Amino acid sequence: MKAIQVGLLGIGTVGSGTFNVLQRNQEEIKRRAGRGIEITMVADLDTARAQAAVGAGVQVVADARAVIANPHIDIVIELIGGYGIAKQLVLEAIEAGKHVVTANKALLAVHGTEIFAAAHRKGVMVAFEAAVAGGIPIIKALREGLTANRIQWLAGIINGTTNFILSEMRDKGLDFNVVLKEAQRLGYAEADPTFDIEGVDAAHKVTLMSAIAFGIPVQFDKAYVEGITQLGAQDIKYAEQLGYRIKLLGIAKRRTGDATTVTHKGTPDGIELRVHPSLVPAKRLIANVEGAMNAVMVHGDAVGTTLYYGKGAGSEPTASAVIADLVDITRLHTADAAQRVPHLAFQPDAMSDLRVLPMSEVVTSYYLRLSVSDQPGVLAKVTGILADLGISIDAVLQREADEVGGEGATSTDLIILTHDTVEGTMNQALTQMQMLPTVLAPIVRIRKEELA
């Protein structure tokens, strides 16, 4: 049978990786897909560079719409990125009856509802394995491998840049800004690293995973997003002394009032959707994911906890995910659209409207660091505020004043770990503790996940 023809929009790192892996493994891929898969047309503004990447046998154009208009092209791969022209081109490709493969997490996390609805109407597939955690087949696992389960929570290290920075901060005891500069010098962090270090990239990815895990719409605007820019080296060190590592986690958790899921003193039903630095017990496998690697834990009621680990970015790891989508589409594109795996795992008319909870209703535990006067009664006042608000303490670590501030110092660090509490209650406690005259600096609060 004739090879299925693919058009590629944007040939940078991932695009050239996709072209190369498809060529290198073409026989193996054909044996799996049932027919060949060939990139026959590429659109890129830099046509000379694109032609050099794919060789003379592939048509290269500057105008992406020429690819979409080509009646021989069955599948369009969008690797342009961003919400602007990429959105228009994806919608036009769908309208033209093409299947779409994309690595564009930002586009789908923000405009996924519109794009999936358009694809459903036209009976085409929009596949996006490469959008989350690069080479790790986490979309496939969530959407198909775990389909028997009521998924209860997932938590992932889904941004390699920030995991690299946190690993370096811990290993070398350096502050964030120093490590960021070094990461940029070495090419681990982008010249403009804002989306990575502020947690936005991770929030795009966890938003997509939450939709597939719980059958809710993609709702990036409801995600809580906090990056790693405010993290200090001393908190990483104290966390270590207490048996924890600090990781930037993307978390999606179902909180409903049935017996099988997490509840906390009558808190309302909903979905927690959040990205922030988290203490994780050092003994958990995910706490030991270092450098630019990614990992995602998923807990389902039948399977228990599962863990997926691998490269979250890079040319061929991401190409591996793009090509897996090409193979899926090649196998399924002649099947009745109703028999295909739904874009968000659940049938479009069976989506849930369970609300995404505001951060004040989230339930988690906390690490607090207070810079306090080293005098009698301080600890009693602080713990009294927590007790009055019903917040249970898990552990306390108080440093000798001269260890923290040098000989003769009159202030010290007080570290408190709490048990689970509602974030709104913790906010009240923080306000009251901050007003104590013996609390000398803004209190550091970092959330903690046991991931048990």
Is residue 320 at the binding interface for ligand HSE, with CB under 6 A as the rule? Answer: no
- Interacting positions 82-141 with ligand HSE (CB under 6 A): none
* Residue among 199 and 312 whose Cβ is closer to ligand HSE: 312
Closest residue by Cα to residue 81 from 190, 214, 217: 190
The label of the residue with tokens 């389909």 reads 147
The verdict on 160 binding ligand HSE (CB under 6 A) reads: yes
Instruction: Return d(Cα 250, Cα 132) in angstroms, integer.
Output: 11
Q: Is 161 in the site for ligand HSE (CB under 6 A)?
A: yes
Q: Which stretch binds ligand HSE (CB under 6 A): 158-166, 264-272, 347-355, 439-447?
A: 158-166
- Give the interface size with ligand HSE as a residue count (CB under 6 A): 7
Strands 59-61 and 37-43: parallel
d(CA 294, CA 131): 13
Per CB under 6 A, which region of 13-21, 53-61, 84-92, 154-162 contacts ligand HSE?
154-162
Taking CB under 6 A as the criterion, the residue among 159, 167, 365, 421 binding ligand HSE is 159
**Residues 325, 33: Cα–Cα separation, whole Å:** 11
Element containing residue 441 per DSSP (H, E)? none
Using the rule CB under 6 A, which residue among 313, 319, 321, 329 binds ligand HSE? 313
Number of C-beta neighbours around residue 396 at 10 A: 14
Q: Is 17 in the site for ligand HSE (CB under 6 A)?
A: no
Q: Is 312 in the site for ligand HSE (CB under 6 A)?
A: yes
Please identify, using beta-carbon distances, which residue of 73 and 203 lies nearer to ligand HSE. 203
State which residue, 140 or 369, has the beta carbon closest to ligand HSE. 140
- What binding mask, one character per residue, do residues 261-300 give for ligand HSE by CB under 6 A, x or -? ----------------------------------------
Alpha helices, DSSP H only, in 82-187?
Answer: 85-95, 105-122, 138-140, 160-172, 176-185
Check if the beta carbon of residue 150 is closer than 8 Å to that of residue 373: no
Active site residues: 205
Q: Which residue number, 38 or 198, has a Cβ lying nearer to ligand HSE? A: 198
Piece in contact with ligand HSE (CB under 6 A), picked from 21-29, 82-90, 156-164, 253-261: 156-164
**Contacts of 332 by beta carbon, 8 Å cutoff, 6+ apart:** 125, 340
Provide, rounded to whole angstroms, the least separation between the CB of residue 133 and ligand HSE. 8
Minimal distance in Å, beta carbon 161 to ligand HSE? 3
Contact range with ligand HSE by CB under 6 A, out of 155-163, 172-180, 222-230, 333-341: 155-163
CA-based nearest residue to 169, from 110, 247, 271, 252: 247
Give the CA dihedral 128, 132, 138, 144, nearest 10 degrees: -30
In sequence order, the 6+-apart residues with CB closer than 8 A to the CB of 341 are 143, 144
Query: Which is closer to ligand HSE, CB of 250 or CB of 300?
Result: 250
- Which of 278, 276, 121, 272 minimizes the C-alpha distance to 209? 272
What residue ranges bind ligand HSE (CB under 6 A)? 159-161, 196, 201, 312-313
